[in-house]
Amino acid sequence: MTAPVTARPPAPRPGAARPAGYALLSAGPASFLVHRRSAAVTGVLALLLAAACLAYLCLGETTASPAGAVRAAFGLPSDDAFVVGVLRLPRMVVGLLVGVAFGIAGGLIQTVARNPLASPDVIGISQGASAVTVGAMTFGVTSYAVLPYVSIAGGLAAAALVYVFAWRGGLQAARFVLIGIGFAVALRSLTQLFLTEGDHLIAQQAQVWTTGSLNGRGWGEAATLGWTLLALLPAVLWAARAQRRVALDDDTATALGTGLGHTRLGLVLLGVVLASVATGVAGPVDFVALLAPQIARRLTRTAQIPLLCAALTGALIVVAGDLLARTLFSPTELPVGVLTAAVGAPYLMWLIVQDRGVVRRTGGKA
Amino acid sequence: MLALLLAVGLSLAVGSRTLAPTAVLDALLHGGTDDAAEIVRSMRLPRTVVGLLVGAALAMAGTVFQGLTRNPIADPGILGISQGAAAGVVLAITLAGVHTLTGYIWFAFAGAAVAGVAVYAIAARGRSGASPVKLALAGAAVNALLVSVIHAVLTTDAATLDEFRFWNIGSLAGRGAAVTERIWPFLLAGAVLVLIVARGLDALALGEDVAKGLGQNIAAVRITGGAGAVLLTGAGVAAAGPIAFVGLAVPHIARALVGTDHRWLLPMAALTGPVMLLVSDVIGRILFPPSEVPAGVTTALIGVPFLVALVRRKTVTA
């Protein structure tokens, strides 16, 4: 019994049914729908990021020529081999990776909470990672190969605490944010406590670390962070797909029969791990996780937070921020966290004044 | 009152060297020149007095902020007002070259006032008014911004760092009689101002319209009360650095004890606040002897479970 071939509906012309604003890319059997504007934004962001990186390598106490900087970056002999290749390049790579991690982390957690305010640096996750890391430092763990993993433990613990205490027959976003802010304050005090307890020298190192700084970071930190990110890449790819389902509100999701609980948990866990590992390397670089996804979403004008754009934006913020932090008051360096907070805090205020993301959405379940 | 006496006693007796209560009394009443008497009179007594004043000031300020904003989680620490005072002091040291406590205090007031007005203005915009979530978020944002300003100054200006470092942690350590002498007039002025508006705060608790109907001049209540609370916060912070959560927890405890009438509530808060601060200070002293945990850290660690309980108990309106 074979179905007559003619009974099949005619195959749709390629591109006929695609939604507005999308382009169809096909390569052999695989085909993708690509949001045109997102693709364009991604391209522009990548270009900007490349420009920022070049500027990062060239500018500073000693200025290198662009050509020399590029040669040095690729390990070719150059006059600026030491300054660019040994001092600036590893630090820049760490900055890039930290920005990427914070950008994706913020994007994931904000998606699940459907609230821009639920970013890891507002609700205590970064602070938890900091507190535990500083604690470990004062007890003699100073290797940057180990610290990021300690931070992950701290971030997860903080997230779990906030979650448990905010849970009361359901998760109300307003309560979640309030309790998160409370924990953030307490955990910051705990960090202070460790700072006053620890050895003098370590305390000084930890003090700089607590504002979020890339100063003195090298290939060791870059490797730790890079390998972690690479290991998490499959999870991030999964998240990029899963994100779409999670954005549905509870009722729709239930009606469609997709269980969201596990997906949400997975996305949040991934976000927490990413934010914590970045915190472990560079300290809590405030507000990158808040800003990057929001900027990315406004640029692409999509309903979803575009993760790739968020990652690029995060990297751009950190690299450009650190460039400013190094050169603004040269020869004195500011921690990059000071600059990102100076930009991020007013943005948070603006969000509150707008009264949109805060009020309308906190009615829903996080 | 009894609890307060007990806390004062503890603060005098306990430390890296614990003294018998009789020795403390002896030292206070009869003087004497032995070690115990010296410790009590020259180190612990002045510190305890500062703790009393600062605790009372922060608790009353918290009560007034909670009354004015009609918001259970208002606290000078969470709202960024203490941090505003701190930023004022840093800028005073680095820009204006002020180096005395008498000089600091004016800048602390200015900073506290600016931060307070900014936080309230940000939170009150928009349709839903100044809800707890928005106030807390505005406070967090202002806190972050001010901390960033402070860090920017401190990392670029080593001399200021050196001067500021000793002051910023929120600690009672090393605060002596000189501090008390400077700040008490301001505390007194602040206390008088907030007591004057106690009736107004009661009326305000019923809602703006009712308060108007009762013949209260709301603007006057807000300005007088706000000024009083800022004076109290600024003076408290200038004396001991930013100490969070005393202003949050104490008003609730006091309300549970004497009810919601501000004429009773404010004095009760003034009694309970020092208890919390002094007990925190004592705990900080005995936790890791011989080094000390700053009182500001201990109050935060005690205060957060309180905040959590508070937020869990009520349905929070966004």
Q: Are residues A207 and A166 in the same domain?
A: yes
A287/B144 CB distance under 8 A: yes
Amino acid at A301: R
Is A335 in the B-facing interface, judged by CB distances under 8 Å? yes
B74, pLDDT greater than 60: yes
B169, pLDDT greater than 60: no
A174/B132 CB distance under 8 A: yes
Q: What is the ipTM of this complex?
A: 0.72
Q: In the structure encoding, which two tokens stand for residue B258, read together?
A: 């004497």
Last residue of a domain, one of A81, A104, A132: A81
**Which pLDDT score is estimated for B78?**
77
Q: Distance between CA atoms of A124 and A162, rounded to whole angstroms?
A: 8
- Which chain B residues contact residue A333 at CB under 8 A? 155
Is B76 in the A-facing interface, judged by CB distances under 8 Å? no
Is A178 in the B-facing interface, judged by CB distances under 8 Å? yes
**Which pLDDT score is estimated for B14?**
59
A241-254 burial, b for 16+ CB within 10 Å, e for fewer? ebbeebbeeeeebe
Q: Are residues A61 and A183 in the same domain?
A: no
Q: When comparing pLDDT for B215 and A106, which is higher?
A: A106
Please give the average per-residue pLDDT across B195-211, as a whole number: 76
Residue A319 lies inside a defined structural domain of this protein:
yes
Nearest to A52 by CA among A101, A99, A102, A107: A99
Counting every residue written for chain B, the total comes to 318
CATH number for the domain harbouring residue A195: 1.10.3470.10
Rounded to a whole number of angstroms, the distance from the CA of A338 to the nearest CA of chain B is 5
Please give the average per-residue pLDDT across B84-99, as a whole number: 80
B133/A184 CB distance under 8 A: no
Please give the average per-residue pLDDT across B129-153, as a whole number: 79
Q: What's the Cα-to-Cα distance from A135 to each of A187, A197, A210, B200, B257, rounded to whole Å?
A: 11, 9, 12, 47, 38
B235, pLDDT greater than 70: yes
Is B117 in the A-facing interface, judged by CB distances under 8 Å? no
| CB contact residues (below 8 A), chain B span 152-211, against chain A | 152, 155-156, 169
| CB contact residues (below 8 A), chain A span 257-286, against chain B | 286
Q: What's the Cα-to-Cα distance from A108 to each of A118, A162, A269, A308, rounded to whole Å?
A: 10, 17, 9, 11
Residue A20 lies inside a defined structural domain of this protein:
no
Q: Per mean pLDDT, which range of A307-311, B126-130, B217-221 is the poorest?
A: B126-130
- Which chain B residues contact residue A196 at CB under 8 A? 169, 291-294, 297
Please give the average per-residue pLDDT across B103-111, as a whole number: 82
**Which pLDDT score is estimated for A97?**
92
| CB contact residues (below 8 A), chain A span 119-158, against chain B | 122
Rounded to a whole number of angstroms, the distance from the CA of B162 to the nearest CA of chain A is 13
Alpha-carbon torsion (B64, B66, B69, B70), positive or negative: negative
Residue extents of the structural domains in chain B: 55-313
B300/A189 CB distance under 8 A: yes
Amino acid at A223: A
Q: Which of B131, B140, B312 sits opposite A122 (nearest CB)?
A: B140
Q: Are residues A96 and A77 in the same domain?
A: no
Q: In the structure encoding, which two tokens stand for residue B157, read together?
A: 């200006």
Secondary structure (3-state) at B237: helix
Separation of CA A130 from chain center? 16
Please give the average per-residue pLDDT across B190-194, as a whole number: 83
Domain limits for position A265: 90-363
- Which chain B residues contact residue A211 at CB under 8 A? 151
Q: Distance between CA atoms of A290 and A149, rounded to whole angstroms?
A: 23
Q: Report helix angle A288-300 to A307-327, nearest 10.
A: 130
Q: Are residues A208 and A349 in the same domain?
A: yes
**Which pLDDT score is estimated for B121?**
83
Omega of the bond leading into B290 within 30 degrees of 0 (cis): yes
Full pLDDT tens readout for chain A, 366 residues: 444 444 455 555 554 555 666 776 676 666 666 777 778 888 888 888 888 888 888 887 777 777 777 777 777 777 777 777 777 888 889 899 999 999 999 988 888 877 777 788 878 888 888 888 888 887 777 776 778 888 889 999 998 888 888 877 666 667 777 788 888 888 887 887 777 666 667 777 777 777 777 777 778 888 888 888 888 888 888 888 777 777 666 667 667 666 667 777 888 889 899 988 888 888 888 788 888 888 888 888 877 788 888 899 999 999 998 888 888 877 777 888 888 888 888 888 887 777 654 444 443 333
B225, pLDDT greater than 50: yes
Amino acid at B180: T
Phi, psi (rounded to 5 degrees) for A26: -130, 140
Q: Are residues A71 and A103 in the same domain?
A: no
Residue A17 lies inside a defined structural domain of this protein:
no
A170-200 burial, b for 16+ CB within 10 Å, e for fewer? eebbbbbbbbbbbbbbbbbbbbbbbbbbbee
Residue A145 lies inside a defined structural domain of this protein:
yes
| CB contact residues (below 8 A), chain B span 271-290, against chain A | 288
Chain A and chain B share a number of CB contacts under 8 A equal to: 153
Interval B261-301: pLDDT, tens: 888 888 888 888 888 888 888 887 777 666 667 777 788 88
Interval A164-188: pLDDT, tens: 888 776 666 677 777 888 888 888 8
Q: Are residues A216 and A323 in the same domain?
A: yes
Separation of CA A163 from chain center? 20
A-interface mutation test, from B75, B125, B145, most A Cβ less than 10 A away: B145
CATH homologous superfamily of B55-313 equals: ABC transporter involved in vitamin B12 uptake, BtuC (1.10.3470.10)
Residue A22 lies inside a defined structural domain of this protein:
no
Q: Are residues A213 and A261 in the same domain?
A: yes
A346/B152 CB distance under 8 A: no
Q: What's the Cα-to-Cα distance from A297 to each of A39, A40, A121, rounded to whole Å?
A: 13, 13, 19
A172/B147 CB distance under 8 A: no
- Which chain B residues contact residue A183 at CB under 8 A? 304, 308
Q: Distance between CA atoms of A18 and A295, rounded to whole angstroms?
A: 27
The number of folded domains in chain A is 2
B155/A338 CB distance under 8 A: yes
A179/B311 CB distance under 8 A: yes
A355/B77 CB distance under 8 A: no
Q: Distance between CA atoms of B18 and B24, rounded to whole angstroms?
A: 10
DSSP class of A335: P
Phi, psi (rounded to 5 degrees) for A30: -90, 145
Bridge partner list, A33? A24
A105-114 burial, b for 16+ CB within 10 Å, e for fewer? bbbbbbbbbb
Q: Are residues A154 and A220 in the same domain?
A: yes
Who contacts B220 (Cβ-Cβ below 8 Å, separation ≥6)?
B200
Q: Are residues A64 and A121 in the same domain?
A: no
Q: What's the Cα-to-Cα distance from A215 to each of A56, A325, B155, rounded to whole Å?
A: 14, 10, 13
Q: Are residues A62 and A110 in the same domain?
A: no
Question: Do A165 and A360 contact (CB within 8 A), yes or no?
Answer: no
Omega of the bond leading into B305 within 30 degrees of 0 (cis): no
pLDDT band at B164 (very low <50, low <70, confident <90, very high): low
Q: In the structure encoding, which two tokens stand for residue B199, read together?
A: 């009736």
Q: Are residues A64 and A213 in the same domain?
A: no
Rounded to a whole number of angstroms, the distance from the CA of B199 to the nearest CA of chain A is 30
Q: Are residues A68 and A217 in the same domain?
A: no
